[in-house]
Chains A and B, each alone.
Chain A
Amino acid sequence: MTFHALRPLAAAALLAAISTAPAGAQSLADRVDTIFAASTGWFVNLIFANLPGTSIPWIVGWLVIGAVVFSIYFGFIQFRAFGHAIALVRGVYSDPKDAGEVSHFQALATALSGTVGLGNIAGVAVAVSIGGAGATFWMILAGLLGMASKFTECTLGVKYRNEYPDGTVSGGPMYYLKKGFAERGLPLGGFMAIMFSIFCVLGALGGGNMFQANQAASQVQSVLGIPTWITGLVLAVIVFIVIVGGIKSIASVTEKIVPFMGIGYVLVSLVIIFSNADMILWAFGEIFRGAFTDSGIVGGMVGAIIQGFRRAAFSNEAGIGSAAIAHSAVRTKEPITEGLVSLLEPLIDTVIVCTMTALVIIITGQLLQDAETGRYILDEAGRIATAGGSAAGVPLTSAAFGSAFGWAPYALSLAVFLFAFSTMITWSYYGMKAWTYMFGEGKTKEMVFKLIFCFFVFVGAVSSLNAVIDFSDAALFSMAIFNIIGLYFLMPIVKRELDSYLSRLKSGEIRRYH
């Protein structure tokens, strides 16, 4: 049975479910949605304000300029040190005496489980359904440049982390902003650390939570016909059990399944792409054509750039500062090694996984084009009309996979649910670190954050996509404001570390063990 044949069934099941659902829950969901959209609008407008006289949101320019500056300043470290980064992950330079400590591979895998999530499945679908195939090109470019931002922030994360007497560590932008600025004799480090922490908490609730819950719930609704408020409630309860109840086994199991789901996702994508081998050249042609010409989307070529950059940043989080929190746990004598390992994240996340999603959507012909002009056909909302009329986000990706394999939407639902869950767990940790940085550690203080986090799982699940996606982006991107300012001031420190490391690597002082 194909996905399309299933749709009427799903719709019928959905109607039945809605009619039997408690009326109170539905009206509550509507109310939550309205209040949410109304109360976050000003913040979204501020973050996504266009640069004067252009249609480019200033924050997107901010991230891209940052990535370009770091790429140039470090002499395109993402390409120069790429081979060495792979060797580090393989443990070639790891001292066997340190076995049992967190390995480079483990830090990378954990940070990736926070970034490989719905941004890769839903975010990309949003990007191409607004920006056309051309958005893919800009997304890949942003991913490649973002590798340098990630390198910078993760090196600093390790260098300026706090180590406590009991052996645990805390690190991240709030620590390098405060300690790094103090070390360089610069003012306002403490202020920037607090501002970063505020936005990190909001980002954890937005992109790290509501967006994930929203997309998981809407996928479950469209495939299985279960109303969003039920999925929202279930997710909120599971997250509650894990982060409040301290049931680590659920998180550990997810953490072990998710990497395999990620690999499975890429493999299935490759099968679909290669089973349409005759379309591959055409798809890349579309990507290049859309990237540099007006393919009929709203905003033309600039529209494609904005969508590509925006979704890439949202997906791989380079420049946002989040990964620095996870990477700072590695015990290494050389902070640079952790930076080098982390630069693989945007590559895996954006250049590989996101591109797979985009190619599958393009190759399976989900985006409708005018047969004569080749320009995209737009719907009333200004989005590109889709083959099955599926909404942007996960439903579009799901329809694309479903057009090749009837079972794919079900597998995707499971993947979406697990990706969403693992991203939430990772982000609840990021948010918690920022929260305790501001308010100090303590059982009650931590509990307050955890309860807020669980509540927002539900809010995210029942809100409309647009309100959630805008708030998620705005909250995540605002972390980048303070993080990147900090990176500009602290990048000479990273440069010094890098030069010293590379010269010792060359002289053989840093030796291979395997």
Chain B
Amino acid sequence: MPNRYVVAYDDSQAARRAVDFAVQRAKQDGAMLLVVHVLEWSPYSFLTPQELEERHMRREQELARAHAAIVDPLLNELSDAGIEAEGEIRYGHVVEALVAIAKEQQAQQIFVGRTGQTGMVSRVFGSVAGSLAQVSPVPCTIVP
């Protein structure tokens, strides 16, 4: 089985830089990429009855949109460039989902971009890159 590298991706510039860097490494090491897109979701949020009723329908729509607009275009691009890659879309907390996938797929590395927020914002809300560096079960590359 080839090495597997997890790369977190949304359609931001920071994520794009992470993908580009991960592609370089994957080429060098002969690894395959696992492109992961996480839809933020908490099972402990509060919904109105109307939202309960429509939740399943909305979820299907959100997944379809994430595939069509974010993950599939990137996968096509990577496959055209001759890079072996798979996509995965998950609901949940970004850091927890990345860690879970890395464990399940026995990945060797995780690549994430960072937005470079400093000061109050990151102190209050934390950042994906920062939290991931703390809890990642495998080496984690933070791409500036």
Chain A residues engaging chain B, CB cutoff 8 angstroms:
91, 94, 96, 99-103, 105-107, 109-110, 113-114, 166-170, 248, 251-252, 255-256, 258-259, 325-326, 329-331, 425-426, 429-430
- The answer on a CB contact under 8 Å between B92 and A99 is yes
Interface centre among B48, B56, B59 (most CB of A within 10 A): B48
- The answer on a CB contact under 8 Å between B46 and A106 is yes
Number of residue pairs A-B, CB distance < 8 angstroms? 88
- The answer on a CB contact under 8 Å between B57 and A99 is no
- The answer on a CB contact under 8 Å between B48 and A248 is yes
The 7 closest A-B pairs by CB, nearest first: A100-B91, A167-B57, A103-B43, A99-B91, A329-B52, A429-B49, A167-B56
| Distance (whole angstroms) from the CB of B132 to the closest CB of chain A | 18
In the complex, 22 of the A-B residue pairs with CB atoms within 8 angstroms, ordered by the A residue number, are A91-B43, A94-B43, A96-B92, A96-B100, A100-B41, A102-B55, A103-B44, A105-B44, A107-B52, A113-B46, A114-B49, A168-B56, A169-B56, A248-B50, A252-B48, A255-B48, A256-B45, A329-B52, A425-B48, A425-B49, A429-B48, A429-B50
| Complex CA distance for A256 and B46, rounded to whole angstroms | 6
B90 to chain A: which residues have CB within 8 Å? 99
Interface centre among A94, A101, A258, A425 (most CB of B within 10 A): A101
B62 to chain A: which residues have CB within 8 Å? 100
| Complex CA distance for A425 and B100, rounded to whole angstroms | 38
| Distance (whole angstroms) from the CB of B87 to the closest CB of chain A | 16
| Complex CA distance for A451 and B3, rounded to whole angstroms | 62
B63 to chain A: which residues have CB within 8 Å? 100
B47 at the interface (CB under 8 A from A): yes
- The answer on a CB contact under 8 Å between A255 and B46 is yes
A105 to chain B: which residues have CB within 8 Å? 43-44
| Complex CA distance for A143 and B60, rounded to whole angstroms | 38
Identify which of A106, A167, A169 contacts B43 (C-beta below 8 A).
A106
| Complex CA distance for A155 and B54, rounded to whole angstroms | 20
Given A96-B92, A100-B39, answer yes or no on A106-B100 (Cβ-Cβ < 8 Å).
no
Identify which of B41, B47, B48, B57 contacts A166 (C-beta below 8 A).
B57
| Complex CA distance for A477 and B41, rounded to whole angstroms | 38
